[in-house]
A and B are shown apart, each in its own frame.
Chain A
């Protein structure tokens, strides 16, 4: 029963997709296909691969990730929050301990610094998950386990009318396999 439940949870019914999926082994062939597809006006394609390939990133004209801004904001909030906590906690019960200065900057720096790293790290994680659309609970394209091994997949969402043209283009760029989802 548990196995059945898990099976249902882990293998949800595959949604219906409309588009063409091409599968490549050679990186340069896949890169050429990306360039050609984008040249043909298919800008919203997705590429699946076991490792990131710089050639494909360039062909996709991917800019740098925006995660850095999320991290920077997190770091700023962290350091501000850390210092604020120190000032507030010292001021709310002003008790001099060991003759040390009440509002002492060196220990605050340690706490402010650690808080900055902590909040920046958490923001970095949240930024990565949000921008990378993770956790991905719903499939956005047909998936093939070979994408985690040694194959590169290019998914072009399109209508049935365009599928034949895209299929021909992919085959023209030495795709090992082309699957049409109409």
Chain B
């Protein structure tokens, strides 16, 4: 009976583990085996994560109680690590929507095996990113002032400020990507609900599955809506990071005032996001023994995406330098020269090596299919992309037009705690996610399996 579906068509080529037959039922077994009471390794990781997070929360407490003086901020560098972290995490978030929505519209089947992880990463990434502007206001209990709401004095937000555009863009992105993520989970949570033994878990899955039964009218409207979520999320991906880039590009500051910023930031966001997806998938596929679901071909396709976006990012770096040299602004030329050779030369070269030089190894197929190499590269890419934002923000602010304002910004321990804490915050969500919700889309992977038919066609 199961012979018709014994071959896993998700495997296009040679895998790094022996091929294992996948049927509709074993797919449920494999994915839902991830869900359940965690083991010692998970608890050790989770505990470590919470300790790091506690240190970061102590740093946040210091910032709020003692004020921003405990950070390394000083005029004119009033944006540094916070906004670097904000842009970094929004960038990480972007890949999820790219994989789930853009590749859905292009009918790219390899996305089915990886998109749930990427989508979860989106939601957790935006949740992490949104914290930084909130903390950076210095008085987070007044953050609601950022939203336009009727008030006694008829005061409204300044909608001509790109920072206000961010409020709209990031909140829209958080809402739409969360809905997209939760809607995709509905059929899989129904499968988990039917198997759950513990009443609390059953309750969680019953809530997340909305009473899904897999009826034809439910599928009809589910896919009708899913297509539109993808269609809405696609322009949203590009618009949100464009809006984030305009936080900088709208200012007159040398090194920022460029029309290149929107496509440059979008490419960079996808680059770092895919890097993070690769990092997570390499660990998860090995840790949960799911190499037959997330095959080496899937990983290679993601590696190609990293290579493509690395080329785009590298092209943008070179264009920036070329335009600074070719353009009329001396301040712009000076800032770019300062970036590569000034106080922060080390940050610039970390950025350039990690984002442009090392990913070029992905031109070689054996590297793209080697999981250790991909793991190392994904870490380097994310280090490089964090430094990209640091370089853009800090080098431009330390060298504004007036030399009297020039300043050497040094990162403080408090800010370091915030950086590490942001990773702990992100991984806290992720660790819970892989143990509570189906981390791979059962229903979508199932669609790639040949359906059982009595008559051969």
Contacts and interface: CB of A to CB of B under 8 A. Distances in A.
Interface of A: 2-3, 6-7, 9-10, 25-29, 46-53, 56-57, 60, 62, 64-68, 71, 85-86, 89-90, 92-93, 97-98, 100, 104, 107-108, 110-111, 113-115, 117-118, 120-122, 124-125, 127-129, 131-137, 140-141, 143, 145, 147-150, 174
A104 B160 contact: yes
| A interface, over-half SS | helix
Contacts of B148: 85, 89
B168 A93 contact: no
Interface in B13-59: 23-25, 28
A108 B159 contact: yes
B345 to A, nearest CB: 35
B203 A10 contact: yes
Contacts of A28: 453-455
B145 interface: no
Contacts of A140: 215
B225 A124 contact: yes
Interface in B406-457: 442-443, 446-447, 451-455
Contact of A65 (B220, B243, B454): B220
A47 B216 contact: yes
Contacts of B228: 67-68, 71, 120, 124
A132 B312 CA distance: 42
B1 A25 contact: yes
Contacts of A65: 220-221, 223-225
Interface stretch (B79-87, B188-196, B358-366): B188-196
26 contacts: A10-B202, A51-B219, A51-B443, A56-B216, A60-B216, A62-B216, A67-B225, A68-B224, A71-B225, A85-B148, A93-B155, A98-B160, A110-B169, A114-B165, A114-B169, A114-B172, A115-B168, A121-B179, A124-B225, A128-B224, A128-B225, A135-B211, A136-B213, A148-B28, A149-B28, A150-B25
A125 B225 contact: yes
Nearest to A92: B154
B159 A53 contact: no
A167 B455 CA distance: 23
Q: Report which residue of A2, A49, A64, A111 has the largest number of chain B beta carbons within 10 angstroms of its beta carbon.
A: A111
Interface residues of B, number: 69
A68 B454 CA distance: 36
Contacts of B24: 50, 149-150
Contacts of B239: 110, 113-114, 117
A64 B220 CA distance: 8
Interface stretch (B114-122, B229-237, B269-277): B229-237
A134 B211 contact: yes
B217 interface: yes
B353 interface: no
A74 B200 CA distance: 36
A48 B213 contact: yes
A133 B219 CA distance: 11
A5 to B, nearest CB: 9
B158 interface: yes
Contacts of B245: none
Nearest to A10: B202
B150 to A, nearest CB: 10
B259 interface: no
A131 B155 CA distance: 40
Nearest to A154: B216
A41 to B, nearest CB: 18
B315 interface: no
Contacts of B157: 89
